[in-house]
Structure 1
Amino acid sequence: MTLILPGQTSTGQNWRSQNLVRPRTRIPVDAFRVALPHVGFHFGASRFSTIVEPEQRSTGPALATSFDGWYYRIHVLPLRIDLGNLVTNQVRYVRLWNAFLQQQNLTSVSLQGGEGIDLTGPGAPPLPFAPLQLRQWQLTVSTDGPPVITANLTFTFSVLGDRDITITGNRMSAWMLPPDWARPVVETLTWATDIQQSVSGAEARYPLRGSPRKTWEFSVLADRRERQVLEQAVFDWSARTWALPIWADVTWMSSALVLGVQSLSVPDATLKDFRVGGLAMLWKDVTTYELVEVAGITANALQLARPTANAWPAGTRLLPCRTARIDGTPSLERVTDQVMRSTVRLAAVETCDWPAIAPAATYRGRPVLEQRPDLDQAQTAEFGRQLVLIDGDIGPVAVDDINGKAWPLQSHAWQTWGRAEQAGLRSLLYWLQGRAASLWVPSWADDLELVEAAISTSSGIVVAWAGVARYGRAQAGRRHLRIELKDGRVLYRQLSVATELDPQREHLQLDVAHGIALQPDSIRLISWMVLGRLSSDTVELSHETDGEGVARCRVSFAGIGAEESEP
C-alpha cells in the first residue's frame, strides 16, 4: 500500500513546475510504521485528498530509533569502577535496570578477586526484576587486602546470561613519620634527553620524558611507639604504594577545624605541591592523621572532594601528598632497643608536573640566566676539548684537536629562601627539562675592566689588557658580554673584533651602540656569557628546612658554542 501525498509528483518533481492540479507521490506505508511504531494512520479522504493505493510491501531495512537503544536490554551502571589509589574505605554503587517489558530473573551474583570488598543488595538471588524495575547494590571497599585490586562482579540472568563489572585500584598506606631535619631532605628530578652531536659541536636534543621522575631521600629517627608502628608498617607495606607527605610544603593550621569541613585555608597554596585530584594529609602525630582528596585549589585555599572525617586542633599540619614506592630494600639501624634510625628513599609512581617558566630576560632570542650563584658554594669552570690521542706505545704521542674549540663547563649554585624563590627555581628546572633547553649563562666573574669612558653613540669600549685579542679572538664562548651597571641596568653585547692598543689596554668593538654613556666607576661587572644547557638530566634539590626556610641546588652548564651564532 502506498500513500500519495500532495506537493510532489510520482517521479519526485515539484507539481507547481508542471501546472498539475493534484500531484501524487507513492511512499510505502510500512516505512511510517517502522519509524513511528506507536502512531496510528488513517487512510482515506482528507483535506489534501490523500489517496491510498495498493503496492508491493517494502523489503528495505528498518530504521533504528531511540526506543531500540533503550529498551529490551539490561542496563548496568557503571560497567567499570576504577578506585584509583585507595587510602581510606570507599563506597560505590551499582545499579541494574530491567528495560524489558517483561519480567527477568536474576539467578546469581558472584564476585571474583574481591578480597576486602563487601557487596550488599536488595536480596539474595534468585531475584525477580519486574518490567522497567531498577535495583541497586552497594560495594564497600576496605583498605585491608591485596595491594592491587582486580575484581570482577558478575550478575547472571536466567535467559539473558552474564553482565560483568570490572573493579580496579591500588591500596595505599600513608607514610606517617616525619624526617629528621638534622639532615636535609633531598628531592631528585630526573629527565631523559637524547642528544645527537656533530663534530662541529652542533646538537640535536630530544626530550624523552614530558615530566621528570622524582624521588625523595630523607632520614628518620624513631623511638618507642613510633619505632614499633613504623617497623610494622614497613614490614607489611615495603613493596606497596605509599601516600608520601611532602614535608617541605607543610602548612601549620592556625585555628581548629571542626568535623566535616570541606574548605581549608592554606596560604600560598599554588606555591606548594598540591594538585587537583591528588591527596593531602592532616597530621597530628604518627598514629593520628587523615588523608583527604583535593578537588580545587585557589591562591589561599583548598577545596576537598569530601568533608573531613575528624575534628583537628590548631597546630595540625597540612601536607600535600604524592604516591610513591620505597626505592630499594629499607634498612633499619637499631641504635638501642627502643631507638631506630634509617635513611629511606621513595620514588613517585605518579606524574609529577610543575609549571615550566623561562627566565624573563632575553638576548638574541634566548633566555638569560639572571639569578646570581650562591657564593657560599665555590663555583668551578672547565674548558674541555674534543681530543683524539694516537699512541703506538713506541714513539711520541700524537694529539688531534678535532674542531679546535673549547667546551666550557661551569657550575651554578642556588640558595633559595622561602616558597616563592623555591617555586621559581623549580619552574626554571622544569623549563630546562634536563639537557633539552638552552639559555645564556654569565660567568658572574669580573672578566673585563673598563678603563676609559665611552659616549652613548659609541659601540666600542677600552678595557684593561686581558688577552682578549691574542687568545679570545671572538671565538665561541668568548664573543658575548654582559655589562652590568651599578644602577641595575644591564647591556648584552656581541664582540665583533678585539685590538691591542698597548701592553695595558685593548679596544673591543661591539655590535651595537651603548645607548648610554659608560664611565669606569659606573660599571659593576663585565662578564662573558656562554650559551649552555644542563650537563646532566639529574638535578637535586636539598631542603635544609621546610619551604619557609632554605633549599639549595647545584648544577653544571655545558657550553654549546656552535649555536651561539644562531639568532
Structure 2
Amino acid sequence: MPDEASLPPPPLWPFPAAQEITEVLEWRTDVLQSRAGEQRIALRPRPREIVTLRHRLDALGMARAAELARTGFAGEWQVPLWHMALQPNADLAQGANEILLDTGLAHFRSGGLAAIAVDGREPVTVAIAGIQPDRLIMEEPLVLQLPSPTVAARRITIAPVRAGVLTSAIEITRRRQSDGTVSAGFLLRDAPNLTAPVLPTYLGRQVQTDPSLVRRPLSASLRRAVEYVDNGFGPIVVEPLRDTFERGETITLKAQGPTARYALRRWLWSLRGRQASFWLPTWGRELQLRAAMTSGSTLMRIAPVASLAAYAGRAILLEMPSALRFRTITAAIAEGVDHRLTLSSNLGEPVPLMTKAHFLTAMRADADRVEIQHGAVASEVTLPVLEVSA
C-alpha cells in the first residue's frame, strides 16, 4: 500500500459560494424520563457538521462540477467554509507571509489551510503555519495567490478550509444552457471544540438574552404526560404518568455580522443538542408592579397573574436601568386585590414602578439536529425548545 505521505492531497472544491449556505449540526442525546424529571446523557460530545453549498455557475462551471464529482465522489475533499469567511484588516501584497484579521471569528487551524478569493472568483489555498489573535502566519509568502502586487482588503475574502466527504448526490439545476445552480453537501471532519459565549448566568444556567429572539407562539404546546384508561363500560379515567408539566415552543435567533454569527454558533455548540439547559425569558411583562420598591426591599407588589401557590420557586427577570437582574420568588400572599411576592434577595437599587419584569423559564433544545441558514447578510436558526425542571 502506498505511504499516506506520498498520496496526493484531497482536491479542493473550487467554486465560490454565491447563494445561501445551510449548516446542520447533529448531536446524539439519550433522554431518560422519570415521573419527576429526566436525565440527559450525551452520546456524542461534538456534533457532526454537514454543510450544503450552493453555487451559481455558467455552462463551463456546471461541466467542471460534474467531472469533479465523477472522478472523486467517494473521496475526501478540501471544503472552504464560506459561511465563516472574513475580510482582512489590511491590504495584501505579494511577498507577505501574514494576513491581518480576527482569527477568533472562524475555525482557522495551525497546520491547516485557508482559502483566498479575490473579487468573488474561485479560491486558492494557502498553508497556515501559525495563528495569532490578530493574524494568520503563512508557511510561504503570498505570490501567485494574488493577481497583482497589491490587492485592496475589500476585494479579498478569506475562509478556513476543512476536510469533508460528499453526503449525497450533487444536484445541478439549469435555468438555461449557461446559467444554473450546483448544490453539494459535505460531512466535515474533525469538529472543533468551541467554548460557550459570554452570556449572563443565573443559578448555574446561561440566560439567553439575545435581542434578536423571535418567539413562535402559534407553534407552542402545553401538555402533560397522561394515560387514558377506558374499560369500555364506564367513564374514561385520566391517569398522570409524570409530575412535570411540559411546555414546548419554537424560537428563532438571528445574527448579523461575523461577531454575532460566531457567537450564535458557539451558543448552539454549548447546548450540545438536547443535553444542556438554559434560561429563556418570556419577555411577556407578566409581573406588572403596583408600587415602586426601595433598594433594600425584597417585597414586590404586582397585579395578580397566577394562583398564590404557582409563584413559589419561579425565577424572574427585571429590566433594571443599570442591567438585567435575576431573582427567585420564595413566597406569595394576597394583599387586597394585589399579590405580594417575596424575592430571594433585594435588588440593591430602587426599582421604579414602570420596571418591566418577566418570568424566566428553564428550557432545553427539543432536537439533536440544528439547522442554520447562512445568508449574505445574516444567519438564522429556528430551534424547538422544551421546558425542564433540571
Same fold (TM over 0.5): yes
Q: Is the 8 A contact 1:177 1:286 kept in 2?
A: no
Are residues 176 and 484 of structure 1, via their aligned partners in 2, closer, same or farther at CA, if it must alter by over 3 Å? Answer: same
Q: Which residue of 2 aligns with 1:558?
A: 386
Which letter maps to 2:240? Answer: D
Q: Is the 8 A contact 1:211 1:351 kept in 2?
A: no
Q: Which residue of 2 aligns with 1:302?
A: 136
Q: Which residue of 2 aligns with 1:368?
A: 207
SS state of the match for residue 68, structure 2?
Answer: helix
Q: Is the 8 A contact 1:500 1:506 kept in 2?
A: yes
Bigger relative contact order, structure 1 or 2 (CA pairs below 8 A, ≥6 apart): 2
SS state of the match for residue 291, structure 2?
Answer: coil
What aligned pairs does 1:415-564 form with structure 2 within 5 A after superposition?
A: 415-469=254-308, 472-474=310-312, 479-485=314-320, 487-502=321-336, 504-521=337-354, 523=355, 525-545=356-376, 549-561=377-389, 563=390
Q: Note the C-alpha offset of 1:465.
A: 1.8
SS state of the match for residue 194, structure 2?
Answer: coil
Q: Note the C-alpha offset of 1:385.
A: 0.8
- Answer yes or no: is 1:235 the counterpart of 2:73: no
Q: Note the C-alpha offset of 1:300.
A: 2.5
Cα distance in structure 2, aligned partners of 1:394 and 1:305 = 81
SS state of the match for residue 431, structure 1?
Answer: helix
Q: Which residue of 1 aligns with 2:2?
A: 151
Q: Note the C-alpha offset of 1:450.
A: 0.4
Q: Is the 8 A contact 1:453 1:520 kept in 2?
A: yes
Q: Is the 8 A contact 2:252 2:383 kept in 1?
A: yes
Select 1:257's aligned residue among 54, 71, 93: 93
Cα distance in structure 1, aligned partners of 2:327 and 2:288 = 15
Cα distance in structure 1, aligned partners of 2:335 and 2:230 = 43
Select 2:247's aligned residue among 408, 411, 429: 408
- Answer yes or no: is 1:338 the counterpart of 2:178: yes
TM-score by length of 2: 0.88
Q: Note the C-alpha offset of 1:414.
A: 1.7
Structure 1 residue runs of 5 or longer lacking an equivalent are 1-149, 153-165
Q: Note the C-alpha offset of 1:444.
A: 1.9
Cα distance in structure 2, aligned partners of 1:421 and 1:512 = 33
- Answer yes or no: is 1:216 the counterpart of 2:51: yes
Q: Which residue of 2 aligns with 1:10?
A: none
Cα distance in structure 1, aligned partners of 2:194 and 2:294 = 43
Q: Note the C-alpha offset of 1:262.
A: 2.9
Structure 2 residue runs of 5 or longer lacking an equivalent are none
Are residues 383 and 553 of structure 1, via their aligned partners in 2, closer, same or farther at CA, if it must alter by over 3 Å? Answer: same
Cα distance in structure 1, aligned partners of 2:39 and 2:185 = 34
Please report the RMSD computed on the Cα atoms of aligned residues, expressed in angstroms.
2.6
Cα distance in structure 2, aligned partners of 1:241 and 1:508 = 61
SS state of the match for residue 233, structure 1?
Answer: helix
Q: Which moved more, 1:418-427 or 1:309-318?
A: 309-318
What aligned pairs does 1:73-88 form with structure 2 within 5 A after superposition?
A: none
Which letter maps to 1:519? Answer: P
Q: Is the 8 A contact 1:214 1:352 kept in 2?
A: yes
SS state of the match for residue 369, structure 1?
Answer: coil
Task: Determine what percentage of the aligned residue pairs are the same residue.
Answer: 22
Q: Which residue of 2 aligns with 1:178?
A: 16
Select 2:39's aligned residue among 195, 199, 204: 204
Cα distance in structure 1, aligned partners of 2:77 and 2:17 = 15
Select 1:391's aligned residue among 221, 230, 233: 230
Q: Which residue of 2 aligns with 1:193?
A: 29
Q: Note the C-alpha offset of 1:256.
A: 4.9
Cα distance in structure 2, aligned partners of 1:510 and 1:497 = 7
Cα distance in structure 2, aligned partners of 1:200 and 1:251 = 48
Cα distance in structure 1, aligned partners of 2:166 and 2:122 = 22
Select 2:115's aligned residue among 281, 292, 297: 281
Q: Is the 8 A contact 1:356 1:429 kept in 2?
A: no
Cα distance in structure 1, aligned partners of 2:230 and 2:74 = 52
Select 1:328's aligned residue among 164, 168, 184: 168
Question: Which deviations, in whole Å up to 9, do the C-alpha atoms of 1:41-87 show, x marking residues without a partner?
Answer: xxxxxxxxxxxxxxxxxxxxxxxxxxxxxxxxxxxxxxxxxxxxxxx
Which letter maps to 2:2? Answer: A
